[in-house]
Structure 1
């Protein structure tokens, strides 16, 4: 799992059918000091996150599993998914 801040959203009218109905958000990954790391990326939002919120997101197989809507949906193209909105973290 990774931590990031939602910095924007993506609107795509033409997309894979597995993305229909999913909100796509731009995430800036951060470290525990809330400093940006790496580059921004796009993730499917599964929890209703908004711009400015700190979130937890997953990549790869975990992202694929978190965004599957039905047991027969094996065509999902999601590589990153937002899975939690962070209320706070203590370090």
Structure 2
């Protein structure tokens, strides 16, 4: 899992079977201090995250099983972060 910031939405009128009712978001992975942590990822979202929110993203088979074991999804928003504490040593 990783922390990310929702930076956009992705619209696709034609989707593979199993993705028909999924909202897709563009998420920028971030470090705990808020700086960018890699390449943006397209994530499926069933919990209603929005632009600018910090989210928790799960990837791979752990993400896929949340939708359907046969789904072509690789990343899923699994939480919207209310707050977190980062203690730099």
Q: SS where residue 63 of structure 1 aligns? A: helix
Count residues in correspondence.
Answer: 86
CA contact (8 A) 1:66 1:83 kept: no
TM normalised by structure 1 equals: 0.90
* Residue 83 (structure 1) aligned with residue 83 (structure 2): no
- List 4+ stretches of structure 1 deviating above 2 A: none
Q: 1:66 — aligned with what?
A: 66
Structure 2, gaps ≥5 residues long: none
CA distance in structure 1 between the aligned counterparts of 2:5 and 2:57, rounded to whole angstroms: 10
Structure 1, gaps ≥5 residues long: 69-73
CA contact (8 A) 2:63 2:76 kept: yes
